[in-house]
Amino acid sequence: MNGFTSEYEFAEKLSPEERDNICRIIGKFAHTTKRRIQIDQFFANEFLDTLSKKIGYEFADIKLLELAITHKSADSKSNNERLEFLGDAILSTVVSEHLYTKFPYQKEGLLTRMRSHLVKGDTLTRIAYNLELTNFIKLSKGTANLSSDRKQSILEGVVEAIIGAVMLDSNWETSKKFVLKPNLSALAKASSVVPVLAHSSLNFINSLFFS
């Protein structure tokens, strides 16, 4: 499925026998439906914890992270579209403020072009691949089989949705630091493909995030 998953991988790849062994290890011996649900939840939490560590943020409400990686094809009612809307606004505002502060002598036109590069789809897709988000997104099987090119907007949306989830889980200052932190800023490493916008900003992306 080209790196995408429509279920929680840890639970999905186990046979019933392997799950039973896990049950014994963690002390749940009764062969009941309730136990099966508990085991599924155990692996779901492990899955989300792995993702949380990858993005460098520990959620107080882990369900927000689960929602952020749920595409509408996997769940038409409870998905990441609203978080994507919120994250898009946060990302644009945080980057705009940082550019305004970082480059006090640049004019609006250059600042706008800088921001456009930093928040464009290709940059967000690069972030998603660097964080290996393709291994965590919940999709329907049909959507999971789409070509990589057609999945780009899905990757963009998940990055924005995670930003929105961090905001709801914390506060403005925390989400701002999250957006600007180096591990989210594959943005910063995109400088090699950025055309020279002005002599004073040859390395503006690197300086933006690392100075």
Active site residues: 88, 160
Query: Phi and psi at residue 137, in whole multiples of 5°?
Result: -65, 135
* CA R_g for the chain: 20
Report d(CA 180, CA 187) in Å as an integer.
9
Residues forming beta bridges with residue 186, ordered by sequence position = none
Would you state the structure tokens that stand for residue 189, as one six-digit string?
């490493």
Q: Spell out the alpha helix ranges (H) of 57-171.
A: 62-68, 81-102, 108-119, 121-130, 141-144, 152-169
Closest of 129, 182, 138 to residue 159, by C-alpha: 129
